[in-house]
């Protein structure tokens, strides 16, 4: 076994993946406060895994994939939590939540179709949207303020458009593409 599999960032991503069934169970049991506390642990592990991967020089393709799967499954658990624990909020935000699902689904389907795998681009826009989603989610639930949440959803839609463009432009899969504008044109073989 490769020791990089057991790096600190990968273990944090695995922790986040392991917390997804816990979040789902808490949502089905209507345990809102505990759900929000466990979600904090999950979201903090998301911030830490990327930071530590760079700081400890332990970034890897596997880590990028684990992080991406952790992101999408955690967001799905967040939506399920809204639906089951806070159905009134869910109903009021339904259009924006559909936009969010499409923003995650369409780039993923496009990458699966073209490359046979999940895209792990981790663009600057995606990182910004992910960092903003946590406070927007908590502000929405705890204080009922939805304008910040809706703005973050619109940012996710823009990120999805960028990820679709990246998928369209690349000839082979790549992880950690910071922006569609920063694709290395020197690697012509990567581009169409």
User: Cβ(158)–Cβ(125) under 8 Å?
Assistant: yes
User: Cβ(49)–Cβ(85) under 8 Å?
Assistant: no
Give the model confidence (pLDDT) of 58-67 as tens digits. 777 777 788 8
What is the residue-averaged pLDDT of the chain?
Answer: 87
Angstrom distance (rounded) from CA 162 to CA 101:
16
pLDDT of residue 57: 77
pTM for this model (two decimals)? 0.82
Q: What is the DSSP letter of 182?
A: G
Task: Give the length of the chain.
Answer: 192
Q: Is the pLDDT of residue 56 over 90?
A: no
User: What is the residue extent of each domain of the chain?
Assistant: 1-85, 87-192
Give the model confidence (pLDDT) of 84-120 as tens digits. 999 999 999 999 999 999 998 999 899 999 998 877 8
Question: Nearest CA to 170 among 83, 111, 90?
Answer: 111
Give the model confidence (pLDDT) of 143-188 as tens digits. 999 999 999 999 999 999 999 999 999 988 888 788 888 875 544 4
């Amino acid at each position: 076994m490769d020791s990089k599999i057991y790096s600190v960032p990968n273990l944090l991503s695995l922790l986040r993946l392991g917390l997804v069934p816990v979040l789902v169970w808490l949502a089905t049991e209507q345990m809102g406060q505990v759900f929000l506390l466990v979600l904090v642990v999950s979201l903090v592990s998301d911030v830490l895994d990327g930071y530590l991967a760079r700081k400890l020089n332990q970034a890897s393709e596997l880590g990028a994939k684990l992080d991406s799967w952790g992101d999408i499954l955690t967001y799905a658990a967040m939506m399920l939590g809204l639906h089951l624990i806070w159905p009134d909020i869910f109903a009021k935000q339904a259009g924006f939540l559909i936009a969010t699902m499409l923003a995650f689904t369409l780039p993923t389907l496009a990458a699966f179709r073209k490359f046979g795998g999940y895209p792990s681009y981790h663009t600057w826009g995606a990182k910004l949207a992910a960092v903003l989603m946590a406070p927007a989610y908590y502000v929405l639930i705890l204080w009922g303020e939805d304008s910040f949440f809706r703005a973050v959803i619109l940012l996710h839609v823009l990120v999805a458009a960028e990820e679709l463009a990246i998928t369209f432009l690349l000839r082979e899969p790549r992880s950690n593409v910071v922006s569609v504008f920063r694709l290395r044109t020197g690697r012509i073989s990567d581009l169409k």
